[in-house]
């Protein structure tokens, strides 16, 4: 009787192995579900980035305000007869040195042939 019980228990274990470890087993399904969830998160991040870029492109096409803002922030440009003032907050004062914006490049001389 004990031998039959051991054989049946061994067969039960052998039947369970493909369910847990096999090609379509629970472990593989769980792994694939995790990959799908990560892909969904990555897709949502890319959609948000694309929407931001699309908005920026629309702003650059429609008006000069976005172009002017970009020139000020990224290139450090200022208008003629304009004074640049930078106000440091409490967090900025703790920094050892603030990097000033570079002066705008001198205008190129216009030569007519």
Decide if 68 is inside a domain.
yes
In a domain, 19, yes or no: no
Q: Is residue 83 part of a domain?
A: no
In the chain, the number of structural domains is: 1
pLDDT for the residue numbered 100? 64
Range of the domain at 69: 29-76
Quick check: is 51 in a domain?
A: yes
**Residue 7 is assigned to a structural domain of this protein:** no
Residue 50 is predicted with a pLDDT of: 97
The answer to whether residue 10 is domain-embedded is no
Segment 96-110, tens digit of pLDDT: 555 566 676 776 666
Characterise 81 by phi-psi region: left (phi > 0), alpha (psi -120 to 50), beta (else).
left
- CA 88, CA 97: separation in Å to the nearest integer? 11
Confidence check: pLDDT of 59 > 90: no
* Residue 48 domain-assigned (yes or no): yes
In this structure, which long-range contacts are made by residues 99-103, counting pairs with CB atoms below 8 Å and at least 24 apart in sequence?
Answer: 101/76, 102/76, 103/76
Question: Which pLDDT value is given to residue 110?
Answer: 64
CA-CA distance, 109 to 111, in Å (whole number)? 6
In a domain, 9, yes or no: no
* C-alpha to C-alpha distance for 37 and 108, rounded to whole angstroms: 55
Predicted TM-score (pTM) of this structure: 0.44
């Amino acid at each position: 009787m004990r031998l039959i019980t051991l054989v049946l228990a061994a067969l039960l274990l052998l039947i369970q192995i493909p369910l847990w470890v096999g090609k379509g087993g629970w472990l593989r399904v769980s792994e694939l579900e995790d990959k799908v969830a990560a892909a969904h998160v990555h897709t949502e991040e890319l959609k948000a980035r694309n929407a931001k870029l699309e908005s920026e492109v629309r702003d650059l096409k429609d008006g000069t305000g976005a172009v002017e803002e970009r020139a000020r922030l990224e290139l450090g440009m200022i208008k003629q007869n304009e004074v640049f003032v930078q106000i440091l907050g409490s967090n900025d004062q703790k920094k050892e040195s603030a990097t000033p914006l570079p002066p705008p490049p001198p205008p190129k001389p216009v030569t007519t042939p």
